[in-house]
Amino acid sequence: MATMTEIEEARDFRGANLDCRRCERYALAVSGTCVPGHACVHDRYARRIDRFFSRHPELARDYLEHPYFEVRAVAAKYLDVFHLSRLAADTDETVRQSVAQHLPAASARLRSMRSDPHREVRIRVAGRLPAEELLAMIGDPDYFVRQIVARRLPVKWLPRMTRDTDVEVRRVVARRIGPAGLDAMSGDPDAGVRQEVLTRLAPDRLGRFVHDPDWCVRHAAAARLPLGLLGLFADDPEPEVRALINARLSGHAGTAAAGDGRDGTEVRHG
């Protein structure tokens, strides 16, 4: 006889064996729609709890105060808005995460969860609220929440995040912000942010990076600069930057020579 493994055992969240005869849903067990070790509201495994509620969603409202947080968290998936809102202030963050995931995106209750004490809850809130409701979260204490806000916030409000304390947040901002804000970020203290900025600026505006303290930034700028402005970088102290300048100028000279017919080919005009 095979030894029963832990995951096969039908136990409740306290570790006690489940006894269907003592359960308030015993009639369901008799009918076969509640099966110990597979679909049971009192099992310690969330998947089995979910199977129970998927078969009996109308019973979810009866378990808003169940002592096991997983039961309340799974029940949240099957609740109507009124009962779901009652769990928004649950003591367990896993339950509140489930609530934030299932409340209507435009609901006032979801807006009220923008200041939830747990970051995982606020992450879900930031990912689901309408973009116009995210302005209140630009100062969230968690960097990842602010990253989500920076990805979804309307562009017109992104200038308020150009000085965020987190580099990754500012990089997200630099990828989306409008032209005026992009100019302001060209002097960002982080080289990675400045590189994000220069990839979006018009090539004829990249001369501003000629004295950038990071040679990688200058190299990236020189790679996009119009040929007529390459002379700005001719005396760059970094050999890699000067080599790029010379290669671009040499390549242009070679192309021009070929176009003039100096290699013996016919040049057609007109």
Mean pLDDT for the chain overall: 90
CB-CB contact of 232 with 218 (8 Å)? no
> What's residue 208's pLDDT?
94
Of the candidates 153, 178, 201, which is a domain's last residue? 201
One domain for residues 135 and 181: yes
CA angle 204, 207, 210 (to 5 degrees): 160
CATH code of the domain covering residue 137: 1.25.10
pTM given for the model: 0.84
- Taking the CA atoms of 28, 31, 33 and 36 in sequence, report the sign of the dihedral they define: positive
Per-residue pLDDT tens digits for 193-216: 999 999 999 999 999 999 999 999
* Count of structural domains within the chain: 2
24-33, 38-47, 110-119, 164-173: which has the minimum mean pLDDT?
A: 24-33
pLDDT at 104: 96
Last residue in a domain, options 176, 201, 226: 201
Same-domain check for residues 183 and 224: no
Mean of the pLDDT values across residues 141-169? 98
**Is residue 221 one of the residues assigned to a domain?**
yes
pLDDT, residue 268, reads: 36
187 and 211 part of one domain: no
Q: Of the residues 156, 185, 201, which one is the last residue of a structural domain?
A: 201
**pLDDT interval class at 26 (50, 70, 90):** confident
Query: Measuring CA to CA, which residue among 264, 270, 225, 214 is closest to residue 248?
Result: 225
Residue 16 in domain: no
Which range marks the domain in which residue 220 is found? 206-258
**Lowest-confidence region among 33-37, 157-161, 210-214:** 33-37
Proportion of the chain above pLDDT 70, given as a percent: 90
Look at residue 6 in the predicted model and tell me its pLDDT: 45
Tell me: do 197 and 225 sit in the same domain: no
pLDDT for the residue numbered 144: 98
Residues 210 and 250 in one domain: yes
Task: Answer whether residue 41 is part of any domain.
Answer: no
Asked, for residue 152, whether it belongs to a domain, the answer is yes
